[in-house]
Amino acid sequence: MKALLPSFESIFSIDCVIFGFDRGELKILLIERNEEPFKDWLALPGYLVAQDESIDDAASRILHELTGLKDIFMEQFHAFGDVNRHPQGRVITVAYFAMLRLNGAKELKPLTSFAKKAFWHPVNNLPALAFDHSEIFEKALQKIKRKITYQPIAFELLPEKFTLTQLQTLYEAVLNRKLDKRNFRKKMLNYGILKELDEKQKGVSYRAAKLYKFDKRKYAKLFKNELSF
Amino acid sequence: MKALLPSFESIFSIDCVIFGFDRGELKILLIERNEEPFKDWLALPGYLVAQDESIDDAASRILHELTGLKDIFMEQFHAFGDVNRHPQGRVITVAYFAMLRLNGAKELKPLTSFAKKAFWHPVNNLPALAFDHSEIFEKALQKIKRKITYQPIAFELLPEKFTLTQLQTLYEAVLNRKLDKRNFRKKMLNYGILKELDEKQKGVSYRAAKLYKFDKRKYAKLFKNELSF
DNA sequence: CTATAATATTGTACAAAGTACACTAAGTGA
DNA sequence: TCACTTAGTGTACTTTGTACAATATTATAG
């Protein structure tokens, strides 16, 4: 397909901010770059969009190629288009985020040589990242902080069965502040979107907590109502 | 500046959804196109991004060239990147929105021949728009519906001095539902971000209402708190 | 078996915010 | 001065948010 107006052509990329939650810590997925510019630097998984793919498709493909992860639902959140954000030319990027449960200890394995490796890194103490990726990450963090207060995205980060304490720890990690235990439970249970299971936590050396599941049906009914913290 | 990886080049555009509020009606700014494709169709103001301008700068420039409007603060809200959204080739677009007061009866006058004219159109009964612009508009409308519930964007749509009834009518137009007068006033006045003036409405053939101003100082203090409707 | 250590679980009183609802006041103009 | 139109106001009730601490349960060590 021939472009119409060559003087307006730009290079276009996707960057992904993938959040995970593991042992009480919020993490994001980084790659170590294997190509210039910023060779050997840490960066968000990101690459160029081809002409024959939608940006949503490109996001899925790129994440897969750089990390091995497939079938991750990502949501677009911002385009970054400063002229000099890429040292070698004009590159506009659209950033996506996703939330991911880490329980399966999913294998991370780049499928291309563009990334040396992919790995999880705690969001606290992030090192300097390539390009404007630190800025992109910050914007994503702000986005999920807001979003967790009105949509049940937290459940995407937890294993299917979880305890209320785990849920609370996650909220605290994202919001970066302590919440009151009794009030948190009251509020969560009141929403009626948790299903209490007959099972209990296993393998802990203290009183085991009840396990819960997120009840998608009930949530769908309440969809217009928003949560707030 | 030479592009690095020619096979990844795309054309890149900006589209603007500019909301205005006039005589109780929510409106948006449209242009009539003067170029193929979609010649003579109505469309959102939008054009291509040059290689040497940031996307934010491009948005301001494009709005100015197509409508004559200057110094409008726009906020980016979504990128649209389906492969076939433009009939003649791959064009990725980033959409911006803004809120504008129409009181000054600002003159709309395209500076380029790309648009025959620019004009306000009520958001109800919008005609079919060029490209995927109807979809872009819908997304913008959803965005401001959400946003008006937690940020005082309503004030950008009203004249500097306004009555509480005008403010309420605006909220009702954006949210597309009736609100209770007493509760609305109680809530608004409670936020403490309105300054009551010594003036009254003029030129009405019934009891004149008090005029208010939005108090930016007080709002800034409360910035972390959000409104909700 | 008992004691200890660790976390799970629970309730109440108060404050703040949301909601439903209808009459009186003020200004205009005939 | 009367009729019309919109401005302006309050109360009772419900819901939600918030501050705060003691008891229950289980695992493990001795």
Give, in Å, how far the C1' of C22 lies from the CA of B216. Answer: 34
pLDDT tens digit sequence for A31-49: 999 999 999 999 999 999 9
Q: Which of A59, A92, A44, A63 is nearest to B93 (CA)?
A: A92
CB of A35 within 8 Å of a chain B CB? The answer is no
Q: Which fold has domain B9-148?
A: Nucleoside Triphosphate Pyrophosphohydrolase (3.90.79)
CB of B190 nearer than 7 A to strand C:
yes
The answer to whether some atom of strand D lies closer than 7 Å to the beta carbon of B178 is no
DSSP state of A212: E
Please give the Cα distance from A148 to B167 (Å, whole number): 30
Predicted confidence band of residue A1 (pLDDT cuts 50, 70, 90): very low
Show the 3-state SS of chain B. Answer: CCCCCHHHEEEEEEEEEEEEEECCEEEEEEEEECCCCCCCCEECCEEECCCCCCHHHHHHHHHHHHHCCCCCCCEEEEEECCCCCCCCCCEEEEEEEEEEECCCCCCCCCCCCCEEEEEEEECCCCCCCCCCHHHHHHHHHHHHHHHHCCCCCHHHHCCCCECHHHHHHHHHHHHCCCCCHHHHHHHHHHHCCEEEEEEECCCCCCCCCEEEEECHHHHHHCCCCCCCC
The distance (Å) linking the CA of A143 with the C1' of D22 is 39
Q: What is the pLDDT of residues A178-207, one digit of tens each?
A: 999 999 999 999 998 999 999 999 988 899
Contact A79 B76 (CB under 8 A): yes
pLDDT in the model for residue A4: 47
pLDDT in tens, chain B (229 residues): 444 444 678 899 999 999 999 888 999 999 999 999 999 999 999 999 999 999 999 999 999 999 999 999 999 999 999 999 999 889 999 999 999 988 656 789 999 999 999 999 999 999 999 999 999 999 999 999 999 988 888 999 999 999 999 999 999 999 999 999 999 999 999 988 999 999 999 989 899 999 999 998 888 776 555 556 6
Q: Which residue of B has its CA nearest to A83?
A: B54
Partner-chain contact A11 B2, CB within 8 Å: no
Residue of B nearest to A55 (CA): B81
Domain ranges of chain B: 9-148, 154-221
Given this model, what pLDDT does residue A228 score?
61
Beta strands B9-22; B91-101: pairing state: parallel
Q: What is the CA radius of gyration of chain A?
A: 20
- Across the interface, whether the CB atoms of A79 and B94 are under 8 A apart is answered yes
Angle at A80 between CA B20 and CA B58, to 5 degrees: 50
Contact B119, B106 (CB under 8 A): no
Q: Which two tokens stand for residue B144?
A: 């401001």
List CB contacts (< 8 A) between A81 and chain B.
Answer: 49, 54-56, 58, 94
Question: Which residue in this structure is represented by tokens 């049906």?
Answer: A217
Considering only the top CATH level, what class is A6-148? alpha beta
Sole residue written with tokens 């791959």: B90
Per-residue model confidence as pLDDT tens digits over A139-179: 999 999 999 988 888 999 999 999 999 999 999 999 999 99
Rounded to 10 degrees, the C-alpha dihedral B110/B116/B121/B125 comes to -150
Q: What is the pLDDT of residue A6?
A: 46
- Distance measured from the CA of protein residue A206 to the C1' of nucleotide C2, in angstroms: 17
Round and report the angstrom distance from CA (B163) to C1' (C29). Answer: 23
pLDDT of amino acid A5: 47
Asked if strand D comes closer than 7 Å to B206 Cβ, the answer is: yes
Cα separation, B175 vs B152, whole angstroms: 14
Secondary structure (3-state) at A48: strand
Is the CB of A179 less than 7 A from some atom of nucleic acid strand C?
no
DSSP-assigned beta bridge partners for residue B120: B29
Nucleotides of C under 7 A from a protein CB: 5-12, 17-22, 25-29
Gap between the Cα atoms of B6 and B20, Å rounded: 41
CATH of B154-221, one of 3.40.50.12500, 3.30.1360.170, 3.30.43.10, 1.10.10.10: 1.10.10.10
Asked if strand C contacts B187 at the CB level, meaning under 7 A, the answer is: yes
Task: Give me the total of CB pairs closer than 8 Å, taking one residue from chain A and one from chain B.
Answer: 109
Q: How many CB atoms lie within 10 A of CB B193?
A: 21
Mean pLDDT of A117-130: 96
B224 touches strand D (CB under 7 A): no
Smallest CA–C1' separation from B211, nucleotide: D7
Q: Which pLDDT value is given to residue A225?
A: 53
Predicted local confidence at residue B221, as pLDDT: 73
Q: Which residues numbered 76-105 in A keep a CB inside 8 Å of some CB on B?
A: 76, 78-79, 81-83, 88-90, 92, 94
The whole-number pLDDT of residue A104 equals: 59
Provide the pLDDT for residue B173: 94
Cβ B204 to strand C below 7 Å: yes
Instruction: Give the ipTM.
Output: 0.90
Separation in Å, CA of B148 to nearest CA in chain A:
15
